Amino acid sequence: MKNLYKRVNPVTIWMVGASQGIGLELTKRWLEQGHRVIASARQAESSSELAVLSKRYANLKCLNLDVTDEQDCQQKANQAWLLFSGIDIWFYNVGAYQPMTIAQWCTEDFVKMNQANYLGAVSLMVALQPMFAKQGSGRWIWNASLASYFGLPYGGGYSAPKAALVNLAESLQPELAQQNVQLQIINHGFVKTRLTAKNDFSMPGLVEPAQAAALIDQGMQRQNFEIRFPFKLRIFLSALKTMPYSWALAITRRMLKS
Protein backbone atom coordinates (compact mmCIF):
# COMPACT_ATOMS: atom_id res chain seq x y z
CA MET A 1 0.00 0.00 0.00
CA LYS A 2 1.32 3.46 -0.92
CA ASN A 3 2.22 5.74 2.00
CA LEU A 4 -0.21 8.66 1.59
CA TYR A 5 1.66 10.77 4.10
CA LYS A 6 4.86 12.35 2.88
CA ARG A 7 5.87 15.72 4.25
CA VAL A 8 6.34 17.06 0.71
CA ASN A 9 3.03 15.81 -0.67
CA PRO A 10 0.05 17.83 0.67
CA VAL A 11 -2.84 15.71 1.91
CA THR A 12 -6.14 16.40 3.68
CA ILE A 13 -6.15 15.41 7.35
CA TRP A 14 -9.16 15.41 9.67
CA MET A 15 -7.79 15.81 13.18
CA VAL A 16 -10.46 14.99 15.76
CA GLY A 17 -9.22 16.35 19.10
CA ALA A 18 -7.24 19.28 17.68
CA SER A 19 -7.76 22.12 20.12
CA GLN A 20 -5.28 21.20 22.86
CA GLY A 21 -2.15 19.28 23.72
CA ILE A 22 -0.81 16.77 21.20
CA GLY A 23 -3.59 17.39 18.66
CA LEU A 24 -2.90 21.13 18.53
CA GLU A 25 0.85 20.56 18.08
CA LEU A 26 0.28 18.06 15.27
CA THR A 27 -2.12 20.50 13.60
CA LYS A 28 0.58 23.22 13.69
CA ARG A 29 3.20 20.86 12.20
CA TRP A 30 0.93 19.70 9.38
CA LEU A 31 -0.02 23.28 8.45
CA GLU A 32 3.66 24.28 8.38
CA GLN A 33 4.27 21.32 6.07
CA GLY A 34 1.54 22.53 3.69
CA HIS A 35 -1.16 19.95 4.44
CA ARG A 36 -4.88 20.75 4.48
CA VAL A 37 -6.29 20.29 7.99
CA ILE A 38 -9.82 20.06 9.34
CA ALA A 39 -9.52 20.70 13.08
CA SER A 40 -12.29 19.35 15.28
CA ALA A 41 -13.04 19.48 18.98
CA ARG A 42 -16.13 20.46 20.96
CA GLN A 43 -15.20 24.17 20.73
CA ALA A 44 -12.89 24.17 17.71
CA GLU A 45 -14.64 27.11 16.06
CA SER A 46 -14.12 29.34 19.11
CA SER A 47 -10.63 28.14 20.09
CA SER A 48 -8.25 31.12 20.29
CA GLU A 49 -5.22 28.95 19.33
CA LEU A 50 -6.98 27.60 16.25
CA ALA A 51 -8.22 31.11 15.37
CA VAL A 52 -4.61 32.36 15.31
CA LEU A 53 -3.66 29.49 12.99
CA SER A 54 -6.71 30.13 10.77
CA LYS A 55 -5.52 33.69 10.13
CA ARG A 56 -2.14 32.37 8.99
CA TYR A 57 -3.16 29.30 7.02
CA ALA A 58 -5.96 29.20 4.45
CA ASN A 59 -5.65 25.39 4.51
CA LEU A 60 -7.18 25.15 7.98
CA LYS A 61 -10.91 24.68 8.56
CA CYS A 62 -12.37 24.37 12.06
CA LEU A 63 -15.41 22.22 12.75
CA ASN A 64 -17.11 21.75 16.11
CA LEU A 65 -17.81 18.12 16.98
CA ASP A 66 -18.76 16.29 20.14
CA VAL A 67 -17.83 12.64 19.64
CA THR A 68 -20.19 11.57 22.43
CA ASP A 69 -23.11 12.53 20.15
CA GLU A 70 -23.62 9.87 17.47
CA GLN A 71 -25.78 12.09 15.30
CA ASP A 72 -23.22 14.90 15.44
CA CYS A 73 -20.56 12.35 14.34
CA GLN A 74 -22.60 11.38 11.28
CA GLN A 75 -23.41 14.98 10.31
CA LYS A 76 -19.89 16.34 10.86
CA ALA A 77 -18.30 13.41 9.03
CA ASN A 78 -20.39 14.33 5.98
CA GLN A 79 -19.52 18.01 6.40
CA ALA A 80 -15.80 17.36 6.93
CA TRP A 81 -15.70 15.17 3.82
CA LEU A 82 -16.98 18.05 1.68
CA LEU A 83 -14.71 20.78 3.06
CA PHE A 84 -11.74 19.79 0.84
CA SER A 85 -13.55 17.22 -1.40
CA GLY A 86 -12.45 14.07 0.44
CA ILE A 87 -10.16 13.13 3.33
CA ASP A 88 -6.83 11.31 3.03
CA ILE A 89 -6.13 10.82 6.74
CA TRP A 90 -8.60 10.59 9.61
CA PHE A 91 -6.75 11.02 12.92
CA TYR A 92 -8.72 10.15 16.08
CA ASN A 93 -7.02 11.86 19.00
CA VAL A 94 -9.82 12.40 21.54
CA GLY A 95 -9.10 11.17 25.04
CA ALA A 96 -10.44 11.62 28.55
CA TYR A 97 -8.71 10.57 31.76
CA GLN A 98 -9.85 10.44 35.35
CA PRO A 99 -7.98 8.18 37.76
CA MET A 100 -10.14 6.64 40.48
CA THR A 101 -10.13 4.03 43.17
CA ILE A 102 -12.77 1.32 43.29
CA ALA A 103 -14.07 2.80 46.55
CA GLN A 104 -14.57 6.20 44.89
CA TRP A 105 -15.74 4.93 41.51
CA CYS A 106 -17.52 7.57 39.44
CA THR A 107 -19.73 5.92 36.83
CA GLU A 108 -20.32 9.26 35.11
CA ASP A 109 -16.58 9.72 34.53
CA PHE A 110 -16.21 6.08 33.50
CA VAL A 111 -18.94 6.49 30.84
CA LYS A 112 -17.26 9.70 29.59
CA MET A 113 -13.94 7.87 29.22
CA ASN A 114 -15.61 5.05 27.30
CA GLN A 115 -17.25 7.56 24.97
CA ALA A 116 -14.12 9.66 24.38
CA ASN A 117 -11.51 6.88 24.30
CA TYR A 118 -13.46 4.26 22.37
CA LEU A 119 -17.09 4.72 21.34
CA GLY A 120 -16.50 8.11 19.68
CA ALA A 121 -14.00 6.48 17.33
CA VAL A 122 -16.57 3.80 16.53
CA SER A 123 -19.30 6.36 15.76
CA LEU A 124 -16.97 8.21 13.39
CA MET A 125 -15.75 4.97 11.85
CA VAL A 126 -19.33 3.95 11.00
CA ALA A 127 -19.97 7.36 9.44
CA LEU A 128 -16.70 7.53 7.48
CA GLN A 129 -16.19 3.96 6.27
CA PRO A 130 -18.56 4.14 3.25
CA MET A 131 -16.93 7.37 2.07
CA PHE A 132 -13.40 5.94 2.31
CA ALA A 133 -14.56 2.72 0.61
CA LYS A 134 -15.98 4.76 -2.28
CA GLN A 135 -12.81 6.88 -2.48
CA GLY A 136 -10.74 3.67 -2.64
CA SER A 137 -7.85 4.96 -0.50
CA GLY A 138 -7.11 6.49 2.88
CA ARG A 139 -5.48 6.15 6.23
CA TRP A 140 -6.93 6.04 9.73
CA ILE A 141 -4.79 6.74 12.75
CA TRP A 142 -6.13 6.13 16.24
CA ASN A 143 -4.27 7.50 19.23
CA ALA A 144 -4.56 4.87 21.98
CA SER A 145 -1.90 4.71 24.74
CA LEU A 146 0.81 2.48 26.18
CA ALA A 147 -1.71 2.18 29.04
CA SER A 148 -3.59 -0.21 26.74
CA TYR A 149 -0.85 -2.84 27.29
CA PHE A 150 -1.67 -3.67 30.93
CA GLY A 151 -4.21 -2.34 33.45
CA LEU A 152 -2.52 -0.39 36.21
CA PRO A 153 -3.99 0.56 39.62
CA TYR A 154 -6.48 3.46 39.53
CA GLY A 155 -6.15 3.87 35.73
CA GLY A 156 -8.52 1.15 34.49
CA GLY A 157 -11.34 3.53 33.59
CA TYR A 158 -8.97 5.13 31.06
CA SER A 159 -6.98 2.10 29.91
CA ALA A 160 -9.86 -0.38 29.46
CA PRO A 161 -11.50 1.59 26.58
CA LYS A 162 -8.03 2.25 25.11
CA ALA A 163 -7.36 -1.51 25.13
CA ALA A 164 -10.74 -2.05 23.46
CA LEU A 165 -9.78 0.49 20.76
CA VAL A 166 -6.52 -1.35 20.07
CA ASN A 167 -8.28 -4.71 19.95
CA LEU A 168 -10.86 -3.32 17.52
CA ALA A 169 -8.08 -1.90 15.32
CA GLU A 170 -6.34 -5.30 15.23
CA SER A 171 -9.55 -6.94 14.11
CA LEU A 172 -10.35 -4.34 11.42
CA GLN A 173 -6.88 -3.86 9.92
CA PRO A 174 -6.94 -6.77 7.42
CA GLU A 175 -10.43 -5.93 6.14
CA LEU A 176 -9.58 -2.24 5.73
CA ALA A 177 -6.29 -3.06 4.00
CA GLN A 178 -8.33 -4.98 1.43
CA GLN A 179 -10.19 -1.70 0.76
CA ASN A 180 -6.85 0.17 0.46
CA VAL A 181 -7.43 1.92 3.78
CA GLN A 182 -4.44 1.73 6.11
CA LEU A 183 -5.18 1.60 9.83
CA GLN A 184 -2.49 2.62 12.29
CA ILE A 185 -2.55 2.90 16.07
CA ILE A 186 -0.40 4.98 18.39
CA ASN A 187 0.66 3.71 21.79
CA HIS A 188 2.74 6.35 23.48
CA GLY A 189 3.68 7.26 27.01
CA PHE A 190 3.35 10.32 29.21
CA VAL A 191 2.97 13.74 27.60
CA LYS A 192 2.68 16.99 29.58
CA THR A 193 -0.93 18.04 28.90
CA ARG A 194 -4.03 18.74 30.95
CA LEU A 195 -4.60 14.96 31.11
CA THR A 196 -1.35 14.16 32.92
CA ALA A 197 -1.72 17.27 35.11
CA LYS A 198 -4.10 15.03 37.11
CA ASN A 199 -1.27 12.62 38.03
CA ASP A 200 0.33 12.96 41.43
CA PHE A 201 3.18 10.49 40.75
CA SER A 202 6.41 10.87 38.83
CA MET A 203 5.96 10.04 35.16
CA PRO A 204 8.95 8.30 33.56
CA GLY A 205 9.79 9.50 30.04
CA LEU A 206 7.43 12.51 30.22
CA VAL A 207 7.73 14.68 27.07
CA GLU A 208 6.30 18.02 25.94
CA PRO A 209 3.36 17.95 23.45
CA ALA A 210 5.60 19.35 20.66
CA GLN A 211 8.10 16.48 21.17
CA ALA A 212 5.29 13.93 21.11
CA ALA A 213 3.94 15.49 17.89
CA ALA A 214 7.40 15.26 16.28
CA LEU A 215 7.67 11.57 17.20
CA ILE A 216 4.17 10.83 15.89
CA ASP A 217 4.96 12.72 12.68
CA GLN A 218 8.10 10.57 12.29
CA GLY A 219 6.03 7.42 12.85
CA MET A 220 3.57 8.53 10.19
CA GLN A 221 6.38 8.50 7.61
CA ARG A 222 6.50 4.72 8.09
CA GLN A 223 3.81 2.14 7.43
CA ASN A 224 4.02 0.18 10.72
CA PHE A 225 0.70 -0.76 12.33
CA GLU A 226 1.85 0.62 15.68
CA ILE A 227 3.63 3.91 16.39
CA ARG A 228 5.12 3.58 19.86
CA PHE A 229 7.36 5.43 22.30
CA PRO A 230 9.19 5.89 24.62
CA PHE A 231 11.32 2.76 24.49
CA LYS A 232 11.86 2.09 28.22
CA LEU A 233 8.22 2.47 29.30
CA ARG A 234 7.10 0.33 26.36
CA ILE A 235 9.52 -2.45 27.30
CA PHE A 236 8.36 -2.35 30.92
CA LEU A 237 4.67 -2.54 30.01
CA SER A 238 5.25 -5.20 27.31
CA ALA A 239 7.09 -7.28 29.91
CA LEU A 240 4.11 -7.00 32.30
CA LYS A 241 1.87 -8.21 29.48
CA THR A 242 4.00 -11.24 28.63
CA MET A 243 5.20 -12.42 32.07
CA PRO A 244 3.05 -14.77 34.20
CA TYR A 245 0.13 -12.92 35.85
CA SER A 246 1.39 -13.89 39.32
CA TRP A 247 4.58 -11.89 38.67
CA ALA A 248 2.94 -8.98 36.87
CA LEU A 249 0.26 -8.50 39.52
CA ALA A 250 2.88 -8.71 42.29
CA ILE A 251 4.61 -5.77 40.58
CA THR A 252 1.45 -3.69 40.07
CA ARG A 253 0.36 -4.35 43.68
CA ARG A 254 3.41 -2.31 44.69
CA MET A 255 1.93 0.70 42.86
CA LEU A 256 -0.97 0.93 45.32
CA LYS A 257 -1.04 3.89 47.64
CA SER A 258 -0.85 2.76 51.22
Ligand X SMILES: NC(=O)c1ccc[n+]([C@@H]2O[C@H](COP(=O)([O-])OP(=O)(O)OC[C@H]3O[C@@H](n4cnc5c(N)ncnc54)[C@H](OP(=O)(O)O)[C@@H]3O)[C@@H](O)[C@H]2O)c1
Per CB under 6 A, residues contacting ligand X are 17-23, 41-43, 65-68, 93-96, 116, 143, 145, 188, 190-191, 193-196
Distance separating alpha carbons of residues 171 and 176, to the nearest angstrom: 10
Question: Residue 17 or 151: which CB sits closer to ligand X?
Answer: 17
Residue 68 or 129: the one with the smaller Cβ distance to ligand X is 68
| Cβ pair 63, 69 in contact under 8 A | no
- What secondary structure letter does DSSP report for 14? E
Q: Between residues 20 and 114, which has the closer beta carbon with respect to ligand X?
A: 20
SS (H, E, C) 49-118: HHHHHHHHCCCEEEEECCCCCHHHHHHHHHHHHHHCCCCCEEEECCCCCCCCCCCCCCHHHHHHHHHHHH
By beta-carbon proximity to ligand X, the closer residue of 18 and 62 is: 18
Question: Smallest distance, Å, CB 219 to ligand X?
Answer: 13
Nearest distance in Å: CB 54, ligand X:
15
The C-alpha atoms of residue 183 and residue 117 are separated, in whole angstroms, by: 17
Min dist CB 246 to ligand X, Å, is 28
Q: Which is nearer to ligand X, 138 or 230 (CB)?
A: 230
* Residue 230 to residue 207: CA distance in whole angstroms: 9
Cβ–Cβ under 8 Å, residues 92 and 8? no
CB of 149 to ligand X, least distance (A): 11
Q: Please state the closest distance from residue 103 (CB atom) to ligand X, in A.
A: 24
Q: Report whether 80 contacts 87 (CB < 8 A).
A: yes
Going from the C-alpha of 58 to that of each of 2, 4, 53, 99, the distances in angstroms are 27, 22, 9, 39
CB of 23 to ligand X, least distance (A): 5
State which residue, 170 or 208, has the beta carbon closest to ligand X: 208
